[in-house]
Amino acid sequence: MPAAIEEHRDAGQPIALAELVGRARPLVIRGLCRDWPMVAWARRSDTAFAQGLAALDDGSEVDALLMPPEEGGVIGYNAAFDSFNYAHHRVSITQGLQRLAQYSRQPDAPGLAMQSALISACLPGLLDDHAVPFLERSIQPRIWIGNQVTTPAHFDEYHNVACVVCGVRRFTLFAPEQARNLYVGPLDFAPTGAAISIARLDRPDDPRYPRLKLALAEAQVAELHPGDAIYIPPMWWHHVESLERINALVNYWWKPVPAGGYAPNTALGCLMRCILAFRSLPPAERAAWKALLDHYVFDDEDPAAHIPADRRGILGPLTPEQLAELRETIRRYL
């Protein structure tokens, strides 16, 4: 049986952001957003929730994925593995909600998911009354709305707080080191842009993916209801199942910038470059580069401790001017 994700019950004991980020492990925060108006609408009914959102919809179009019924709501690849199993559309929030209401009356409905829509761009009237107390207002929330859709295990490079506001979502999480057991698809050809596990968690006996059972033995699981939230650390794989006829989630992604440090928007390009640069080298040469990467990047010990502070270059704090110069140097290398 998978382990339960550790929980914090937000009953008069708010959690601090530093504590959340410092733990480097997932945490369910029960009741974090229980007082949000959206949550109150959802507790009344799906209709009340949809009417509340539609009243604030400014008509802007958002991304929507539509899957035929035979896909069972699981986002992924088509049978030939040369495309994806959904059609991409642009719709307003209200149009998507109307389609969800129609599908809720069908026994074998298509899967529909409105994805990663910036609330400031489509539902700006929600911003004032739907804040997370320990997050800066500059962190832009996004809303995800759909029916019984599953997003297979994938990772984000950002810290993530996700708040369920309607329906029920089941989160199954895996630590970063489980990547080899999840049978991840192509990095550069992935549904919605995020590399996903192509092994179905509900099919653990599939002979094509024998190591999946090893991942499932280490999985952590939680079901979240309206008002509940979850913190997912960067690089943790998360598989998300939406279990009701209408489900909605609001999430916040951010990257802390260390004092005197630099936080790139994405490091995925670095991973791809490393694959090109190191993967095909002879074993001894690859091991030598691994030792250098461990020394300069992954070890906790400061590799520049013996160098005068003003001569540490890339190994020390960088000014904006130094960063610009360094980026230009990297471009010349590439």
Model pLDDT for residues 82-131, shown as the tens digit of each residue = 999 999 999 999 999 999 999 999 999 999 999 999 999 999 999 999 99
Round to whole Å and give the CA distance between 225 and 142: 18
Supply 172's token pair: 């199954």
Q: How far apart are CA 278 and CA 102, in angstroms?
A: 52
Residue 88: its pLDDT value, please? 97
Count the neighbouring beta carbons within 10 Å of the beta carbon of residue 84. 17
pLDDT score of 216 more than 60: yes
pLDDT band at 16 (very low <50, low <70, confident <90, very high): confident
pLDDT band at 268 (very low <50, low <70, confident <90, very high): confident
Q: At what angle do helices 46-56 and 93-103 cross, to 10 degrees?
A: 160
> Where do runs of H (alpha helix) occur along the chain?
17-23, 37-44, 46-56, 93-103, 119-122, 212-217, 268-278, 283-293, 320-333
Within 10 A of 74 (CB to CB), how many other CB atoms are there?
Answer: 19
CA terminus-to-terminus distance, the chain = 47
What pLDDT was estimated at residue 87?
A: 97
Name the DSSP class of 120: H
Higher pLDDT, 327 or 181: 181
How large is the angle between the packed helices 46-56 and 37-44, nearest 10 degrees?
140
Q: Is the pLDDT of residue 259 over 60?
A: no
pLDDT at position 323: 84
In this predicted structure, what is the pLDDT of residue 286? 94
Mean pLDDT along residues 173-183: 97
Decide if pLDDT at 265 tops 80. Answer: no
pTM for the complete prediction? 0.92
Give the pLDDT score at 263. Answer: 66
Rounded mean pLDDT of 212-241? Answer: 97
For the ranges 12-21, 128-137, 225-234, which has the lowest average pLDDT? Answer: 12-21
As a whole number of angstroms, the distance between CA 33 and CA 103 comes to: 28
DSSP one-letter code for 110: P
Mean pLDDT score, 286-314: 91
d(CA 254, CA 162): 12
Residue 137: pLDDT above 80?
Answer: yes
What integer pLDDT is reported at residue 322 of this predicted model? 85
Distance, C-alpha 328 to centroid of its chain: 31
Q: Which residues pair with 174 in a beta bridge?
A: 237
Q: How many Å apart are CA 170 and CA 172, to the nearest integer?
A: 7
Task: Determine which helix (DSSP H) or strand (DSSP E) holds 7, and give its type and residue range.
Answer: strand 7-9
Evaluated on CA atoms 287, 303, 315, 158, the torsion sign reads positive
In contact, 164 and 261? CB cutoff 8 Å? no
